[in-house]
Amino acid sequence: MKKSTIIALFLSFNSLLSFAQLPATDKLQVKGGELTIQPITHATLVLSYQGKNIYIDPTGGAEAFKGLGAPDMILITDIHGDHFDPKTLEAVNTNKAVLIAPQAVADKLPATTDKTKLVILKNGETKKGTVDVTAIPMYNIPESPTAFHTKGRGNGYVLNIGGKNIYISGDTMDIPEMRSLKNIDVAFVCMNLPYTMDVKTAASGVLAFKPKIVYPYHYRGQDVEQFKSLVNAGDKNIDVRLREWYPVKK
């Protein structure tokens, strides 16, 4: 066997190994093709549609995204390090990526950031495109100037991808704006104290807006089996998907 062939096989094998270390993906049929949902860790995930990749709150450095294509869009919800990691933004290939973020995040971006590809969204604003992105509130209640997450600083997001509405909660409690959401097909809902909400509160919020599918994420230390039981006790038709958001590093 030629040396070049051996090297090519070795690199291909390593690539497969890297990809295999990622949590399992889910696929959802949407208009125009298939939506791939790739959990990464904690609040970080990748959505892929029509050959385009959307990185949400990328953290973990380039290593966390081995085997995945470069981002075409990056969404950041808040300024905290488990959502906004400048080192990861510098490590991944962002040459073709549009970066969508709230003003508070934009103010903290490194000077080297290409601001021509930056879109600042306030709560309630929408960026139209192949994927429509609407920023919605995410905050703690009761509201307080000293809360971990104050109203208007960060963004949750609703993405319309192939006719499906995908909700990314970011760091929030079961605020009225979440409870009043309509026609959500897939929701990613946080739960971890003391920063967001507990399992019972998260389940109550989900039962209020009734997504077709819900993924608990950002749940370090919380009982997601209890979350699933509470949601399905209230509505057995909600598909609660428990996935691996905290893979053990090898």
Flag whether 122 is in a domain: yes
DSSP code for 126: E
Residue 170 falls inside a structural domain: yes
**Structure token digits, residue 214:** 């819900």
Q: Is 74 left (phi over 0), alpha (psi -120 to 50) or beta?
A: beta
User: How many CB atoms are located within 10 Å of the residue 76 CB?
Assistant: 26
Q: What was the pLDDT predicted at 182?
A: 97
Q: Find out whether 159 and 137 touch, Cβ atoms under 8 Å.
A: no
**Number of alpha carbons in the 13 Å side-chain half-sphere of residue 109:** 22
pLDDT at residue 14, rounded to an integer: 39
How many CA atoms does the CB half-sphere of 176 hold within 13 Å? 3
Predicted confidence at residue 112, as pLDDT, reads 84
**Residue spans of alpha helices (H) in the chain:** 3-20, 86-91, 103-106, 176-179, 199-209, 224-234
Instruction: Collapse the DSSP code of 87 into the 3-class scheme (helix H, G, I; strand E, B; otherwise coil) and give the result.
Output: helix
Selection from 245, 188, 244 nearest residue 216 by Cα: 188
Is the backbone peptide bond immediately before 211 cis, with ω within 30 degrees of 0? Answer: no
With respect to residue 8, please indicate whether it lies within any of the assigned structural domains: no
Q: Output b/e per residue, 174-199; b: 16+ Cβ within 10 A.
A: bbebbeebeebbbbbbbbbeebbbbb
Domain assignment present for 248: no
Query: Using CA atoms, how far apart are residues 46 and 66, in angstroms rounded to an integer?
Result: 12
pLDDT at 107: 97
Range of 161's domain?
17-240
The answer to whether position 247 is within a domain reads no
Query: What is the pTM for the complete model shown?
Result: 0.90
Distances (CA, A) of 62 to 41, 56, 82, 94, 183: 13, 14, 15, 11, 34
Left (φ > 0), alpha (ψ -120 to 50) or beta: where does 226 sit? alpha
Name residues whose C-beta falls within 8 Å of residue 119's C-beta, 6 or more positions apart in sequence.
98, 99, 100, 101, 127
Question: What total number of domains does the chain contain?
Answer: 1
pLDDT at res. 249 = 67
Low-confidence ranges of the chain (pLDDT < 50): 1-20
Q: Is residue 83 part of a domain?
A: yes
pLDDT at 22: 85
Asked if residue 5 belongs to a domain, the reply is no
Assess if residue 210 is contained within a domain. yes
The answer to whether the CB of 73 falls within 8 A of the CB of 67 is: no
Q: What are phi and psi of 19, to 5 degrees?
A: -65, -35
Give the tokens for residue 59: 């953290």
Q: What CATH number is attached to the domain comprising 131?
A: 3.60.15.10
